Chains A and B, each alone.
Chain A
Amino acid sequence: MSEVELTRERVEDALFRAGYWLLFAVIMLPIVVVFVTSFQRGEYLTFPPQEFSLRWYAQFFASAEWLSAVRDSIVIGVGASVLSTALGVTGSLAVQRSDSTLARVLPPVILLPLLLPPVVIGLTLLIYFNRVGFGNTYLTIVVAHTLWATPLVFFVMQSVFARFDWDLRDAGMDLGARPSRVFYHVVLPNVRSGVVISAVVAFIVSLQEFIMALFLKSYEVQTVPVLAWTSLQSSLTPLVSVVSAFLVAVSVLGVLVSAALMNIEWLAEQL
């Protein structure tokens, strides 16, 4: 290889590396802003802050409104996580083992809510729940979030089940165990980490979602992102950074748990 070519390769390499590290920095920037500004002292969000304090944290823990939003978010997140994991795991298992028409039609249908603008799903469900006269805000938001989280659970479980050796299950059946026992003792231990990851992802998706939650909120029940959104409409307060820092921390924790259970590369391919 000539000297000129070698130099050119080196320049290309340097540009390539500089390019993706720059993008990396830009991607992380808003998250850094959130954490840093949550410790600022001033009334109005500024980055970088002039002075630091914990006053916004104190204010957060003293606010009944925020704490009740936290409770609402957790209730809805757990509900959506349990429901979408149950539906997604059973549905995925069925589709894996069956070639009926329903099993072929279902996957594209459950994927659709992910491709529609959330505003449209929010409005569709708002009209629907009004029409049928169903007014429990917790349940309506759980349903909305389950529509989003179920396809994620479903497709993660599809690839988990695809790697499972079904002969093991057949062996269990041949030995005379009931299907439910085979599922519990043979299938579940092999796919457990996939189920846990699905449940964690579903919880996080529900915790962070805000457009559908905005459409379906009521005076009594509103999630953390919705309250953050409405308080941002009046002023750019650092209190939102405190709340956001918690939301980001939960995500980081979720990613780390998932990464510990399975390698992060696999997770990236599933999502």
Chain B
Amino acid sequence: MAELSFAWLGERIKRQDAGSVFLIAPLAAFELVFFVVPFLILVRMSLNANADPGFYQPAWTLEAYRAVLASGLYRDLVVFSFELGVVATVIAVSLALFYAYAAYRATGLRKSLLLFSIILPLLTTLVVKTYAWRPLLSPNGVLNDLLVGVGLLGSPVQFAPGMVGTVIGQVYIVFPYAVLSIYSVLSTMDWDTVEAARDLGASRPRSFLEVVVPEALPGIAVATVVSFAWSVGAYAAPSQLGSGAQTTFAMEIESLMLTQFDYPTGAAFSLLMLAAMLVVSLGVMRLLTGSIGGVEGV
């Protein structure tokens, strides 16, 4: 019996291009040990009872979930995180559609420059991307000097720390990813379709809205989901560029885990947020693509 099953296994492995089983094993093992299992442990941790700071009581209870759901403070944080997610996503994706289109239409050196400006911030640390805005957005910063100088503002406004700074910082963080998602779809588009629409009398804004945008929709969907997921989970921008009023769930998790050492509550809070984000993302995907098909090819 055992011999038979070994022979069967051997046959299967041979048929599947022998080597590929051994090639895939390390990656599969890594994902299992360092992603799937840790995630299960996170779920298990969320069911423990929380005890004195720094300790938890092994248990099977929904107490941590109840504590999170009952807390008015947490509700405010969640609402703010989602607000920031929506605002940053709408701004980032609209600007990204425009910029990706510009990069798609550009040629030669101009195209290289536009693409370079996208890849460079992508590969720059969040720390740099956020703190560098502070001298620009502070009450005595460059933007205020400019706006007051031109006469658009009577007196300086505190953009950062504050909501404006937080949104600018967060849009700046997700913008390159949004541009690339849209650009990778646009770059496969045949320009002749747009020409045809124009020859048939469509104005340029109209041909953009009715030909280019539908064509780019899978890319826009991916850009939206990615921008949204990261903006709801924003940490660096609100803590560097926000005031106390711009506290997100990610900042609270950081404090729960690294200052208060309350593991069960941190775990339960994260899982609840992930569930909420998943529901919203699937909804957005369905809205934009008609199905949840276009997720592949990020």
Contact = CB atoms under 8 A, between A and B. Distances in A.
A123 to B, nearest CB: 5
Interface SS majority for chain B: helix
Contact of A86 (B26, B119, B123, B226): B26
A108 to B, nearest CB: 8
Interface in B9-49: 16-17, 19-21, 23-24, 26-28, 30-31, 34-39, 41-42, 45
Given A28-B117, A127-B263, A106 B24 contact: yes
B53 interface: no
Most chain A CB neighbours (cut-off 10 Å) among B34, B103, B133, B254: B34
B113 A146 contact: no
Question: At the interface, is chain A mostly helix, strand, loop or mixed?
Answer: helix
A146 B118 CA distance: 23
B232 A208 contact: no
Contacts of A124: 38-39, 41-42, 270
A262 interface: no
Contacts of B205: 12
Nearest to B105: A16
A108 B267 CA distance: 23
B230 interface: yes
Q: How large is the interface on A (under 10, 10 to 19, 20 to 34, 35 or more residues)?
A: 35 or more
Contacts, number: 252
Contacts of B236: 210-211
A97 interface: yes
Contacts of A81: none
B159 interface: no
Interface string B166-183: 000000100100001001
A64 to B, nearest CB: 21
A269 interface: yes
B240 A95 contact: no
Given A123-B270, A127-B45, A211-B236, A255 B102 contact: no
B223 to A, nearest CB: 13
B128 A34 contact: yes
Interface string B135-159: 1100001100000000000000000
B24 A94 contact: yes
B121 A244 contact: no
A103 B121 contact: no
Contact of A248 (B128, B175, B226, B235): B128
Interface in A107-140: 107-120, 122-128, 131
Nearest to B177: A271
8 contacts: A23-B99, A45-B131, A91-B24, A124-B39, A128-B41, A179-B19, A225-B125, A254-B123
Closest 8 CB pairs between A and B?
Answer: A117-B233, A91-B27, A30-B132, A128-B38, A94-B23, A94-B24, A208-B125, A20-B102
Given A264-B116, A267-B115, 8 more contacts: A20-B99, A23-B95, A31-B132, A116-B233, A120-B270, A127-B267, A154-B27, A255-B120
